[in-house]
Amino acid sequence: MMKSAEVLRLEQVFKSFRATLRGGPPIQILEGIDLSLERSTSIAITGNSGSGKSTLLQISAGLMQCDSGRVWFEEQEISALGDDKLSQLRSHSMGFIFQNSLLLDDFTALENVQIPSMIAGKSEKQAKNLAMEMLTTVGMQDRLHHTSDQLSGGERQRVAIARALVNNPSVIFADEPTGSLDEQNASLVEDLLFSLVQQQQVALMLITHNYSFAQRCDVVYHLHDRKVEVSS
């Protein structure tokens, strides 16, 4: 069971992938992962390339099933939920930011932020107002009507942050959100993410290779040899 402050909990999660299409022994990626994330706190996951960080994040968000073990999200065991319930939970309670966050191509920045809250049940007008508010918060108020190809990489990530936060999720899953940005944009996006997470009291699971970015989180987990350990 979950503790009262927990929003996410992993218990003894195991995950392997098939080595080849033709079979052969599976490759073990995660081996008995225990992990906990509390409301309004942040954890970083660090580890070498290929160590399983993205796999761990996807299992935590119910985007991928684990072989065994349990994942709880807000009192629900998501490792046991069906697809419909899962996508509903994702739309209401989770926000995602990836290294190259894909915005909907032919849609404007405003529409990209508006659509998720319409999917979550807001009226078009409410969603539009919310989206404008969020885009203003991330400093994109002068780019509302630009489509994704008319935005720079840093601007796209700011739209992605607005989109991830617009439904007031309880957890943001961020996989290398600054990984493809230059130093200046990376630090802007980093500051923005932490200030919004604090402002909206969201929990954050952050994957990053950047040591100082990771250190800003409350707890840093290091993934190594298929296991996590808390590093300081």
Ligand X SMILES: Nc1ncnc2c1ncn2[C@@H]1O[C@H](COP(=O)(O)OP(=O)(O)OP(=O)(O)O)[C@@H](O)[C@H]1O
Q: Which spans of this chain sit near Mg ion (rule: CB under 5 A)? A: 54
| 3-state SS, residue 28 | strand
In terms of CB distance, is 50 or 82 closer to ligand X? 50
Residues between 94 and 133 with contacts to ligand X, criterion CB under 6 A: none
Does 53 sit near ligand X (CB under 6 A)?
Answer: yes
- Rounded Cα distance, 157 and 137, in Å: 13
Residue 54 as a binder of ligand X (CB under 6 A): the answer is yes
- HSE, side-chain direction, 13 A CA sphere, residue 84: 0
For residue 79, the minimal CB distance to ligand X (Å) is 17
Q: Which does 51 bind (CB under 5 to 8 A by kind): ligand X, Mg ion, none?
A: ligand X
DSSP H stretches of helix in 36-175: 53-60, 83-93, 109-119, 124-137, 153-165
What is the rounded CA–CA span in Å between residue 119 and residue 112?
Answer: 12
- 148, 154, 158, 160: CA torsion to nearest 10: 50
| Residue span binding ligand X (CB under 6 A) among the ranges 51-59, 113-121, 139-147, 188-196 | 51-59
- State in angstroms the smallest separation of the CB of 26 from ligand X: 9
* Closest CB to ligand X among residues 8, 223: 223
Nearer to ligand X, 63 or 120 (CB): 63
50 binds ligand X (CB under 6 A): yes
3-state secondary structure of 214: helix
Stretch of residues binding ligand X (CB under 6 A), selected from 52-60, 104-112, 136-144, 188-196: 52-60
Tell me if 44 contacts ligand X by CB under 6 A.
no
Q: Rounded to an integer, what distance in angstroms lies between the CA atom of residue 79 and that of residue 172?
A: 18
Residue 229 token pair? 């350990």
Residue 109 has, within 13 A of its CA and on its CB side, a CA count of: 28
46 binds, among Mg ion, ligand X, none (CB under 5 to 8 A by kind): none
Instruction: State which of positions 13-32 bind ligand X (CB under 6 A).
Output: 17, 29
Where on the chain is the footprint of ligand X (CB under 6 A)? 17, 29, 47, 49-55
